[in-house]
């Protein structure tokens, strides 16, 4: 059984393994010991003393295999991006060039550098190791964050968004970035991806084009991947679309992967989740639910078959699941059915 919990200091080795295995394009998991330790420190500080409201707080979670004790995945929530250093996207827009006298009317797409997600909440750092990619583990690792958002909405912005990894090959070559590199940078994609991941973003303001880019001036290869996701990211974006997330025309500034967003209260799993009182026992004819306890510092989440009585608002949990969630008779959990 996998259980989701806040990251701890003992997870450093597992976190570094995830960073190495995630490869190029996973900006929030750079292979850098100092930065990975800073993420652990930031998250443990957040979970040790619950914030009074929304701020620059990192909520970093890991998936632990209870049978082996091995850490097999990561996911996180960045409560408010862009407050201490700029958070950049390109926004896809349109301009019209027309001459009624000549009978010419052309609509041209543009990419304009923006900071429109400043202050918004980002769900990020989703990575599940190959050894654990089975069953509903991927959904658990991603969707449990919606239960956490539902349980603690006062800590987050109304706009929840996710940046999806854009197209790049196994060697880290990004068609979109290669065009940027040719005209504006002298750094390869893995290098800028790494610098961004460790927080050294000043070069973006210094080297990025200051004016809108006309899309029709890009190479064919660069145009073809704007708004497209990496093949390994497609299941994740399908899941987010099913939750109500949509693309509003924002893409990553380096690989042109799409950003998708949804208002917190409109996220499907947030809307459909409910609080239930725990009864430990053997559920009969249960359904598969994603469940979390309602604690903060001792947050736990997992999935499994439980019995739900909608009239009494009770959840019948097997003893093993109750132990994983650190709950007992009379405690409260939040749950949403997995479909």
Q: pLDDT tens digit string along 242-280?
A: 999 999 999 998 889 999 999 999 999 999 999 999 999
| Residues 207, 65 share a domain | yes
| Residues 85, 183 share a domain | yes
| Residues 143, 54 share a domain | yes
| Radius of gyration, CA atoms only, the chain | 22
Q: Tell me whether residue 208 is in a domain.
A: yes
Percent of the chain with pLDDT over 70: 92
Q: What is the mean pLDDT of residues 292-315?
A: 94
Q: What is the mean pLDDT of residues 134-154?
A: 96
Q: Tell me whether residue 94 is in a domain.
A: no
| Residues 222, 300 share a domain | no
| Residues 291, 193 share a domain | no
pLDDT confidence bin for 173, thresholds 50/70/90: confident
| Residues 284, 251 share a domain | no
Gap between the Cα atoms of 80 and 73, Å rounded: 23
Contacts of 155 (CB under 8 A, 6+ apart): 51, 53, 54, 57, 79
Please report the sign of the dihedral spanned by the C-alpha atoms of residue 308, residue 339, residue 327, residue 299.
negative
Gap between the Cα atoms of 178 and 189, Å rounded: 8
Q: Are 30 and 11 in contact (CB under 8 A)?
A: no
Q: Could you tell me which residue, 179 or 157, shows the higher pLDDT? A: 157
| Residues 333, 195 share a domain | no
| Residues 265, 277 share a domain | no
Domain count, the chain: 2
Q: Which long-range contacts (CB under 8 A, 24 or more apart) does 55-59 make?
A: 55/79, 55/80, 55/83, 56/80, 56/83, 56/84, 57/155, 59/6, 59/148
| Residues 282, 251 share a domain | no
Name the residue range of residue 191's domain. Answer: 2-89+115-269
Q: Which of 269, 299, 314 is the last residue of a domain?
A: 269
Kindly state the DSSP code that residue 8 receives in the 8-state scheme: -
Gap between the Cα atoms of 141 and 149, Å rounded: 14
| Residues 119, 39 share a domain | yes
Q: Which of 231, 247, 269 is the last residue of a domain?
A: 269
pLDDT tens sequence across 108-121: 999 998 999 999 99
Gap between the Cα atoms of 146 and 262, Å rounded: 11
Catalytic site positions = 230
Which CATH number goes with the domain that contains 212?
A: 3.40.630.30
Kindly state the DSSP code that residue 245 receives in the 8-state scheme: -
Whole-prediction pTM value? 0.91
Which CATH number goes with the domain that contains 298?
A: 2.40.40.20
Nearest to 282 by CA among 302, 305, 303, 300: 305
């Amino acid at each position: 059984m996998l259980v989701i919990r806040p990251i701890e200091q003992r997870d450093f080795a597992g976190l570094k393994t995830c960073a190495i295995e995630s490869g190029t394009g996973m900006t929030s998991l750079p292979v850098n010991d100092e930065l990975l330790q800073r993420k652990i420190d930031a998250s443990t500080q957040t979970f040790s003393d619950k914030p009074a409201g929304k701020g620059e707080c990192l909520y970093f979670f890991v998936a632990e295999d209870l049978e082996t004790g091995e850490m097999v995945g990561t996911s996180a929530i960045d409560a408010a991006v862009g407050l201490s250093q700029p958070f950049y996207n390109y926004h896809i827009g349109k301009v019209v060039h027309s001459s009624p006298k000549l009978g010419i009317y052309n609509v041209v797409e543009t990419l304009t550098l923006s900071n429109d997600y400043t202050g918004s909440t980002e769900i990020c750092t989703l990575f599940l190791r190959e050894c654990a990619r089975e069953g509903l583990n991927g959904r658990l690792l991603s969707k449990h964050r919606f239960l956490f958002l539902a349980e603690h909405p006062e800590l987050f912005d109304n706009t929840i968004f996710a940046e999806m990894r854009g197209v790049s090959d196994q060697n880290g070559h990004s068609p979109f970035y290669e065009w940027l590199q040719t005209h504006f940078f002298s750094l390869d994609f893995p290098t800028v991806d790494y610098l961004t991941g460790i927080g050294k973003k000043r070069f973006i303001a210094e080297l990025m084009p200051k004016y809108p880019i006309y899309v029709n001036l890009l190479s064919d290869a660069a145009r073809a991947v704007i708004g497209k996701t990496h093949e390994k990211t497609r299941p994740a974006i399908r899941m987010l679309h099913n939750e109500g997330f949509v693309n509003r025309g924002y893409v990553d500034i380096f690989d042109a992967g799409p950003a998708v967003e949804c208002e917190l209260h409109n996220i499907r799993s947030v809307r459909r989740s409910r609080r239930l009182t725990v009864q430990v026992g053997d559920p009969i004819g249960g359904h598969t639910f994603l469940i979390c306890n309602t604690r903060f510092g001792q947050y736990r989440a997992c999935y499994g078959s439980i019995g739900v009585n909608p009239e009494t608002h009770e959840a019948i949990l097997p003893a093993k699941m109750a132990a994983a969630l650190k709950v007992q008779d009379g405690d409260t959990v939040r749950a949403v059915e997995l479909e």
